[in-house]
Structure 1
Amino acid sequence: MRKTIAIAALAVALGLGAASARAEQTALVLYETKGQQTVRQEGIAFIELDPQAPDYGKILAQIPLPPDLMSHHIFYNPTRERAYVTSLGRSELWVLDVTSFPYRTRVVAVPGCVVGEDLAFSEAQNRWYLTCMGSSVVIVGDAETDEVLETLPMPAPYPHGITVHDGIDRMLVTSTINPKDPTDAGESIVVVQPSTGKILSTHKVADKPSPSGTAPVEAFFVPGANPPVAYITNMIEGRIWIAEWQPESETFSFRGDFDFAAIGQGMALEVYFNAAGDRAYVTTALPGHLNAFDISDPRAPRHLYAAEAAGGAHHMVFSPDGTRAYVQNSLINIPGMNDGSISVIDLVAGKTLASIDTFKDAGLTVNTIMLTPRRKTFTPTDAMEATDAGGTIGSAGITGTQAVLMLEIGKRRQGTAASRRVMRAGRTAKTAAAWRVSLAPDPRRRSCRAHRLPRRRFRRESAVFPRDRGRCPDRIG
């Protein structure tokens, strides 16, 4: 019985290829079935964001996830060697080794964590910190071994957002919302000392009487600000609050700042900073916008424009040159805030350029978007390791005109003459068309079964492996 595999050309931003003149850009997207369906689908998808790529906007590969995981966010460790996927449905962290492809996955149990939300790292302490909104604790783990070290109960319930500043040995944790009762919202920021785990103080971030229900959801230290400054997004209030570090007293002062309700927006969520450090971009889920701020003075952010996105505008990534943003539109699959598209926004003009509807058209919605880490090269050794791992994705990583073609022939069994999986390095055509190859299981058969592989193309590829010249493309060794 023939074994048929699809050999797809994947962009280098998967981390599989060398750098090139073309600004290839691949992202990881967490997706799930849109709406409340009985049968759910959930997974991680690789999607191409380079508008010059032939497979722009397409799903290049997928990693299925359990339908009850309710994957929520992806966070990289400081060295960008691991990706951590938090879970709303299980007391688990899914840890992906992103240094080689395919990504190897480990499941880290985090007992006592209900509704895992955000993850932050302290390089000084070599620790990670996981907020658990359903059990009102922060789990502390070893950043090297991922061993759970301790559990920090929070004095204000429903922790969600978390940010660490090693320079002042401080961590800010938001008190957001009861996952079982959205009318029960928090209003506080908890200040923690990472080196000791000690709770230092709790601060109300609301002007209204308690319970104000402002629901601070995220906190971010502004890069390079001295003294340190943090931006806090109050989700339900729809407002930015600012925390300013006071070096003399070693405490924070808090004050309200920009009000999105005044410009017809609600549900303030994430904050992103450009590479130059003079712009901040804030997403709001209702009706869905990306807001740009001039933060030349981080203590006085100045609103520049609001670019239209879609319902649930949430996370975003930048293009390599920093002129475009790709905004993922969905907030935990809430009706009216789960559009499922990815908005492409011109950050210079403040205008929406396009909408990537790949997931939306498939009946899916997207929960987060993160760029894939880059690697220097993708070698035949990597290819052998990838196939030995039993990966199901027959693929090629392209960097400009460079490519690696994977041909799955079978599996080696303890040094016998059984068939094996191999990867061949070569050059690709200008297009990233999928190549379909039928392979016979018997390695002794010499008939060529690679279809749509031109003779001139095979000769070019054979030059990479001279000993194979003249052989069928699906027969090596």
Structure 2
Amino acid sequence: MHAPSYKVIITLTLIIACCITCRRDEDPAVKQKTLFFIDYRNLGGGKDGVLVMELDPESPDFANILSNTEIGKGVLPHHLYFNRDEKKLFTTALGGEYLYELKMEWNKDGYPIIYQVNPINTHGNQVGEDIFFTKNGEYWVTFMGGQGGLRDGSVGVFNATTNELIKTIKGKEADNPDKFILYPHGISMNEEKKLAMVTSTIHPDLTSGVGNTCTLIDMNTYQIIKTYQVADSAKDLSSPVEVLLLRNEFPPFALTNTMLGGDIWMASYNNQQHRFNPFQRVLKGADMGLGWALEFYIAADKLLYVSFGKPGKVLVFDISQLPQLKLLKTLPANKGAHHMAFFKTKSGRSVVAIQNNLLNLPDLNAGTIDLVDVNTGEMLGRVDMRNKYGLLPESIEGTLGSAHYMHH
């Protein structure tokens, strides 16, 4: 029997490699890397819901809706979150039941399908905003409307296994002006320090009141530690929207951005007092022609990405030398630049998907999703959901889990 020639060996090797590649391409997990859940508002009077869309500009399915689950009219699903082990998907909502668990499965084509929407009993807490899942089996939810009062707000602590409410954290400004929760939106935690922080943003009706503080909470006792002013004065209604307590390999600074101020503020951690020092402004958006600072994300590159709704930009910062916040680049976006998700295209380009819409507010409601190369700043594609589908994107998340390294 003759030994196979080198040409035969090479041919067999290529055939095997192609078969392996084909099998890999058919793997649902590979397909899902560029598929995203998108919360949406229906502009035609129909039901709001959550859909799955392909966002790789290099894919033949780019901008196509692959599955769609309606939740209900006026629900306004608002923020998508995976739980800690990334096996459960949740969305908060500004209307309806305010908080939902989304049961999902994957079809034979590798597309995720949400087959059941389960409302969670919030026990009177209204207008769910942000969620943070803890290591000890809880998740905390900010409720901007509290339990319906004019100057209200609450944080609900839930059992992450059963979705049962454990505790409602409240504190009225009238009872203690140094320790209160008002219109909470953003939430972040440093679990090593056992500290949580929430922002005071705006009354849910967008007219009855505006906040200008952040409030620190003890994670063990659920007690309010201190409320910090994030403004030039008590009369400066800056509206802090998100907060990020840096953790893991980062030094424990607190960052917050102001919706109406359009600024970024920072507070250092005080080891002796086991709390944060007063906030200081580190970036004034107006000086750069920017307003409505909305989101903080840290991507796999360990850089900080901050979205600005007006005129629609994403600023990228080096945070390796805090408290110095070093601006590296500015990425293009559209009016209402808001939530982000990070992924690689089929050819390996590093991309940020930017959801451009905030509550359908004038000049903040482009209704698009932009795909931008984070290294070159090149706009690789744009999905015009408003005009193509009659839908407004409200938030975005990966189908395989959190599409970022750190978010709030």
TM-score (norm 2): 0.81
Name the count of aligned residue pairs. Answer: 352
Tell me if 1:119 matches 2:138.
Answer: no
Residue aligning to 1:11 = none
Structure-2 change in CA distance of 1:223 and 1:348 (3 Å): farther
Fraction of identical pairs, as percent: 30
Q: Which amino acid aligns with 2:285?
A: F
User: Where does residue 153 of structure 1 map in the other structure?
Assistant: 170
Shift of 1:260: 1.5
Counterpart Cα distance in 1 of 2:32 and 2:388:
26
C-alpha change, 1:195 and 1:55, in structure 2 (3 Å) is same
| Contact 1:159–1:175 (8 Å) recurs in 2 | yes
Provide Cα deviations, 1:86-123, integer angstroms capped at 9, x if missing partner.
Answer: 11112441102346554343221112211111111221
Calculate the aligned-residue CA RMSD, in Å: 2.0
Report the counterpart of residue 109 of structure 2 in structure 1.
none
Of the candidates 10, 21, 30, which is equivalent to residue 39 of structure 2?
30
Select which of 318, 342, 355 maps to 1:318: 342
Contact 1:82 1:99 in 2 (8 A): no
Which of 210, 224, 229 in structure 1 is aligned with 2:253? 229
Q: Indicate the SS of the match to 2:367.
A: coil
Between the aligned partners of 1:180 and 1:42, the Cα distance in structure 2 is 19
Amino acid corresponding to residue 116 of structure 1 in structure 2: G
* Partner in structure 2 of residue 105 of structure 1: 117
SS at match of 2:126: coil
1:226, distance to aligned residue in structure 2 (A): 4.7
Q: How does 1:54-453 map to 2 (within 5 A)?
A: 54-98=60-104, 102-103=113-114, 104-124=116-136, 126-135=137-146, 136-154=153-171, 155-182=180-207, 184-207=209-232, 209-253=233-277, 254-277=279-302, 279-320=303-344, 323-373=350-400
Give me the TM-score of the superposition, normalised by structure 1: 0.70
What's 1:45 paired with?
51
Q: Partner of 1:435 in structure 2?
A: none
Q: Which has the greater radius of gyration?
A: 1
**Structure 1 unmatched ranges of 5 or more:** 1-15, 375-477
1 or 2 for the larger relative contact order (CA 8 Å, sep ≥6)? 1
3-state secondary structure, aligned to 1:249? coil
Q: Structure 1 residues 358, 187: CA separation in 2 closer, same or farther (over 3 Å shift)?
A: closer
The amino acid that maps onto 1:113 is: N
Query: Are the aligned partners of 1:90 and 1:114 in contact in 2 as well (CA < 8 Å)?
Result: no
Which deviates more, 326-335 or 39-48?
39-48
- SS of the aligned residue for 1:109 comes to coil
Task: Report the Cα distance in structure 2 between the residues aligned to 1:239 and 1:193, rounded to whole angstroms.
Answer: 27
The CA distance in 1 between the partners of 2:36 and 2:212, in whole Å, is 34
Distance 1:236 1:146 in 2: 34
Letter in 2 for 1:258: L
| Displacement of 1:192 | 0.2
Flag structure 2 segments of 5+ consecutive residues without an equivalent. 1-25, 107-111, 147-152, 172-179, 402-408
